[in-house]
Structure 1
Amino acid sequence: MKKYLNKYSFFSYAVLGLLIIRAFLNWVVPLMDKTEARYSEIARIMAETNNWITPQIDYGVPFWAKPPLSTWLSAISFKFFGVNEFTARLPYFLLVILLVFLIGKYAKRKQLPFFLPGFILLTLPEFLIHAGVVSTDTALAFSVALVMLSFWETLQDNAKSYWKYLIFVGFGLGLLAKGPIIFILTLPPLVIWCVLFRYYTIIFKRIPWVIGSIITMVVALPWYLLAEKQTPGFIDYFIIGEHFMRFFDSSWTGDKYGFPKSQPLGMIWIFLLLFALPWIQALLLKLWQNSNKILKNKWIAFLLLWLLWTPLFFTVSRSLIHPYIMPVMVPLALLITHWWKSIKHQKTIIRLSLIVPVFSVIIYAYGSINNQLQFYSNTDKYFIENNAQFDNIYHLEHKSYSGQFYSKGTIKSISISQMDELEPKESFCFIIPNRDFAKVSKKITDQLLLIESNYKKGIYTYKNK
């Protein structure tokens, strides 16, 4: 009993410590371009304009690439707690905490520490990153987990009645988090599992498909209709472009907001091996050792199908990024939990899993002390905050999302030709990427004084003005 209590205490304190580390980093690390700063700026504009239907990438410019759930969460956080990095990331941090508590009971059922699966989750590099990143992937992962775990609970004897409805709440949230991909990532593994274990009739008896479908529509459909009404063309771009063209064509030129993300075929598996270490390697060993038992255990088969389906689906796509593996972090943690008692070298694996979170703090501390964080961060935060005395801050050519966020939308873009025509004033300063400085005429550069710089850009004002 004493040994069990010690283990229980370790995982409780470890999870608390990991959450504190992530919360600290959420507070002190600036928003980075492009993705995180972009979603934060979209949320800031939503909170400022009170336009809760159409997310805007700039004032009056609709953002059609993603549904609004993540934007709503950050915008609501801004409304209650103010606009800063921590409040932008707070909703995703809270979703992670909810997932930690949601899956803890599966350890308790096996007489294991409640926070064991939460510890595994928080030491998965991909999951730890998204406990503090403003993006759509954490909300999607939460929605997938809600669908899958609610489905499992619904089919258990003496199941609580609310689980069968939560399946469809999860579908609705997924539609608002990232769109129809919620069905693609959940229904195939569920159908395959039901066929394997011959759950042909029980799923129709226990799952309220008609009422459930209505629940899903009530949660998600109103926004889709209002969004299309407010900005016609949204549904065509989002459903056809973002879901089909992006998946099948990595060079798709219709992308309004990003750039082609071409990867080698099968790259999703490399992402999984790298961003889920060391736990994915431990899991592969257990799967090899228990290969003859996998399809005989309903729980293992359920989790394994959930885990494998997403990377299998994205194997044939070149247009992908590493956050696409986020939805499979939960089944990975639960499979490790299932085999925990038989895993050898537990202490070694635990120590290895703590390398990423511990080094994150060390790297931040070192970077702050030596001013390397400010120099190497891909953000315009420091330029904006350190030069707030200027009435006008311009960014040469395309302004950054971090510049928009930290200037509260006041930063302006300026072209090279406009710089030539601008009358020099002491209230002006310019953020100029290093690669573009040579493009500016000598007439202008001779008048510019460098205020500060980082590895990508410099901020300048006029000399003697």
Structure 2
Amino acid sequence: MSSIPRKFHWRAWHVLLAASLLALLFLGMRGLWDPDEGRYTNVALTMLDSGNWLIPQRTDGIGHWTKPPLVYWAIATSIATFGANTWAARLPSALAYLLCVWLVRQISARLIPDRRNETALLFATMFMAAGASQLITTDFLLAACETLAVCGFVCARFGDPATWQRRGWWLAMWLGFGLAFLTKGPPGLLPALALIAFALWVREPGRPRDIPVQVVGVLLFAVVALPWYLVVTQRTPGLLHYFTGSEVVDRVASDVHRRNGEWYGWLLVYGPTLLIGALPWTWYVLRWFGSLPASFRRWWRNAAIRRAEAGDVLVALWILLPLLVFCLSRSRLPLYVLPLFPALAIAAMRMRRGPALPNWWWMVALVIAMKVGSLLIPATLDVRTFVGEIHKRAGDAPVKRVVFIDDTQRYALHLYLGLPARIERVSMDAPPQARFNPDFDRTAAEELARFRGDPGVLWVTKLRHWPQVQQWMTDHGAHAIQLGDAFAEYPQDIGKDGTPKPDDARVMFRVE
């Protein structure tokens, strides 16, 4: 027998095992990060406590309309099943990641059949994909829904010609787009631009058009995507204008949300995201981008070549058209491009030459090491220090509400304080508030009238506001009783003299 070990061949269950390790390992060890993880979890917990699964609310009577409800439903369902803990809150993102891994394998089985398992693992070990799998946001759920839609198209267009299978995949495409629309609204339909462009540019004479099943698919999309929007806009006058104006037009055409809206913002945000997020496979992604000019010249000149290389054309359009929209839009955040990473993984594998990629377990180990490192780095967004300060001051008394007065609210507290706790933000002198998603939940006067003297309500303000808050309470016939000393959550919030910085430290108090 030869002393040279034979090459390890990856099978589907190997990919599932490796991806499951990356998705579920350390899932509940890190505390929730504000603002995003805390905000999404808070809305889901409010749904569970109130029983109102139709209207997303950040607290009693204050709607949270920045996103459709699918991500809140997923988090609430997970918490209802597995308990109020960080593991359950993050589980939907981890499952969406695993679904994406499987879908990448399904797509690759049609486009790169001999590399389908390795392509799925390549996606699973990209830093962006593996890292975002343990973040509570809408983005991985959106990525899973969009990838389902593209998978349905690819399997119908490139897969088995059997009529019933092809029609089933067309319906899967429409289902994916319906769920994507219910996750993030119109941005969830961006891959449709690529599919439409591909269908118009790469025509295949004689291929069945399946018009009847497409009609059924449109109806399926409407049944999945539209009822929630129809109900809430009918019940809430002005909400449709808010959805189309603030959440679509303003994000695309203006910098009102202040998310890197400068003309060069796309380069600052998406350049590093793609380069670092594609690690350890960035070199192959760069090679693929470098090959595009020659590929497009070849495809443009010869329709036969386009048809012969239809899979490559589709992957290129899947990446480039949504990326162009992201760059033109003036609201830009790194996770917006997460749904492109399944396509980037396929593109990277297409650039491979020669034998299959070796040493995959080393790549898995590298990503696990990255996750361990992220746990060791002190996170200024982790709310658990704040939770400890609350328990230290509240003692055994149950905390049912934390009111931040002229301060940034920490919605992640809701998970740790349990139901039916509420987190609210109020102001002593709040200007007129927007009707939808106002900056403050109520005025301090309204909150004082509701909860004055309630021992289950804790009030929090910044140290520099504390004298003003005391005076304001006195002017309104109340008395603010400080609980313990002012506290700083993190070492950087403590000055050189050893005392908390007024701009960063907080005071916790009760009101009588």
TM-score, normalization by structure 1: 0.82
Q: Per-residue deviation at 1:19? A: 3.4
1:316 to 308, 313, 328: 328
CA distance in 2 between counterparts of 1:314 and 1:112 reads 33
CA distance in 2 between counterparts of 1:211 and 1:462 reads 59
Code of the aligned partner of 2:52: N
SS in structure 2 of the partner of residue 327 of structure 1: helix
Cross-structure match for 1:360? 371
Q: Per-residue deviation at 1:436? A: 4.4
Code of the aligned partner of 1:358: A
Q: Per-residue deviation at 1:321? A: 0.6
Uncovered stretches (5+) of structure 2, i.e. residues with no partner: 300-304, 430-443, 494-503
2:411 to 380, 391, 401: 401
Cross-structure match for 2:258? 260
Q: Deviations over 1:29-84 (max 9, x none)?
A: 11111111101111111122121211112111112211111111111112222222
Code of the aligned partner of 1:453: A
SS in structure 2 of the partner of residue 6 of structure 1: coil
Q: Per-residue deviation at 1:209? A: 2.5
Contact 2:103-2:147 within 8 A present in 1 as well: no
| Aligned pairs (5 A) from 1:210-249 | 210-249=215-254
| Aligned pairs (5 A) from 1:32-431 | 32-107=33-108, 110=112, 112=114, 115-156=117-158, 157-159=160-162, 160=165, 161-183=167-189, 185-199=190-204, 202=207, 204-205=209-210, 208-251=213-256, 259-265=257-263, 266-267=266-267, 268-270=269-271, 271-288=273-290, 292-293=294-295, 295=299, 296=305, 297-342=309-354, 355=366, 357-364=368-375, 366-367=376-377, 372=378, 377=382, 380-384=386-390, 387=393, 389=395, 390-391=397-398, 393-398=402-407, 399-407=409-417, 408=419, 409-411=421-423, 413=425, 430-431=459-460
CA distance in 2 between counterparts of 1:427 and 1:329 reads 46
CA distance in 1 between counterparts of 2:334 and 2:363 reads 21
Q: Per-residue deviation at 1:354? A: 5.9
Q: Per-residue deviation at 1:361? A: 0.5
Code of the aligned partner of 1:262: N
Q: Per-residue deviation at 1:120? A: 1.9
CA distance in 2 between counterparts of 1:72 and 1:402 reads 17
SS in structure 2 of the partner of residue 269 of structure 1: helix
Structure ID, larger Rg: 2
Code of the aligned partner of 1:397: D
Code of the aligned partner of 2:260: S
SS in structure 2 of the partner of residue 315 of structure 1: helix
CA distance in 2 between counterparts of 1:47 and 1:425 reads 24
CA distance in 1 between counterparts of 2:36 and 2:107 reads 34
SS in structure 2 of the partner of residue 395 of structure 1: strand
Q: Per-residue deviation at 1:224? A: 1.4
Code of the aligned partner of 1:126: M
CA distance in 2 between counterparts of 1:413 and 1:317 reads 30
Deviation larger for 410-419 or 379-388: 410-419
Shift of the 411–170 alpha-carbon distance from structure 1 to 2, 3 Å rule, reads closer
Contact 2:106-2:116 within 8 A present in 1 as well: yes
SS in structure 2 of the partner of residue 57 of structure 1: strand
Shift of the 196–60 alpha-carbon distance from structure 1 to 2, 3 Å rule, reads same
SS in structure 1 of the partner of residue 484 of structure 2: strand
Contact 1:172-1:216 within 8 A present in 2 as well: yes
Code of the aligned partner of 2:259: K
Shift of the 74–299 alpha-carbon distance from structure 1 to 2, 3 Å rule, reads same
Contact 2:107-2:151 within 8 A present in 1 as well: no
CA distance in 2 between counterparts of 1:426 and 1:218 reads 47
CA distance in 1 between counterparts of 2:193 and 2:358 reads 36
Confirm or deny that 1:454 pairs with 2:489: yes
Cross-structure match for 2:440? none
Aligned pair count reads 447
Percent identical residues:
23
CA RMSD of aligned residues (A): 3.8
Contact 1:18-1:357 within 8 A present in 2 as well: no
CA distance in 1 between counterparts of 2:120 and 2:388 reads 35
Q: Deviations over 1:240-265 (max 9, x none)?
A: 321112110112xxxxxxx4213433
Q: Per-residue deviation at 1:124? A: 2.1
Shift of the 62–395 alpha-carbon distance from structure 1 to 2, 3 Å rule, reads closer
CA distance in 2 between counterparts of 1:424 and 1:162 reads 61
Q: Per-residue deviation at 1:108? A: 5.5
Shift of the 203–239 alpha-carbon distance from structure 1 to 2, 3 Å rule, reads farther
Uncovered stretches (5+) of structure 1, i.e. residues with no partner: 252-258
Shift of the 206–350 alpha-carbon distance from structure 1 to 2, 3 Å rule, reads farther
Deviating beyond 6 angstroms after TM superposition, the runs of 4 or more aligned structure 1 residues are 1-4, 416-419, 421-428, 442-446
CA distance in 2 between counterparts of 1:81 and 1:446 reads 38
Code of the aligned partner of 2:489: N
Contact 1:376-1:454 within 8 A present in 2 as well: no
Shift of the 388–126 alpha-carbon distance from structure 1 to 2, 3 Å rule, reads farther
SS in structure 2 of the partner of residue 132 of structure 1: coil
Contact 1:381-1:402 within 8 A present in 2 as well: no
